[in-house]
Structure 1
Amino acid sequence: MTAHTSPTSSPATPRVALVTGGTGGIGRVVVDRLVADGFTVAVHYAGNKEKAEAFVADLTARGATAISVGGDVADENDMQAAFDAVESAFGGIDVVVNTAGIMILSPISELNLDDLDRMHRVNIRGTFVVSQQAARRLRNGGALINVSTSVTRTQLPTYGAYVASKAAVQSITLILARELRGRDITVNTVAPGPVATPLFLDGKDEATVANFAKATPLERLGRPEDVAESVAFLAGPARWVNGQVLYTNGGLA
Structure 2
Amino acid sequence: MRLVQSLTWIIGSTLLITGSAYKGMQLYQQRHQASAKAYLCRIVQTGPQREALKTTYLAELMRISADRPVTVASFDPLLAQKRLRSCPVIKEAQVKLLQSDTVYVDYTVRQPIAWLYDFENIALDEEGIPFPVSPFFSPKKLPEVYLGIKNFYWSRPLKDRKAELALTLLNLLNRLSMQVRRLDVSKATEQSLGRREVVIILEEQGFTKILRLTPKNFAQELGNYLELRTQLPPAPQTIDLRIPQLAFIEDKKPAQNP
Task: Give your verdict on TM over 0.5.
Answer: no
TM-score under structure 1 length normalisation: 0.20
Q: Whose strand proportion is higher, 1 or 2? A: 2
Question: Which of 1 and 2 has greater Rg?
Answer: 2
TM-score under structure 2 length normalisation: 0.20
| Bigger RCO (CA 8 Å, 6+ sep) | 1
Q: Whose helix proportion is higher, 1 or 2? A: 1
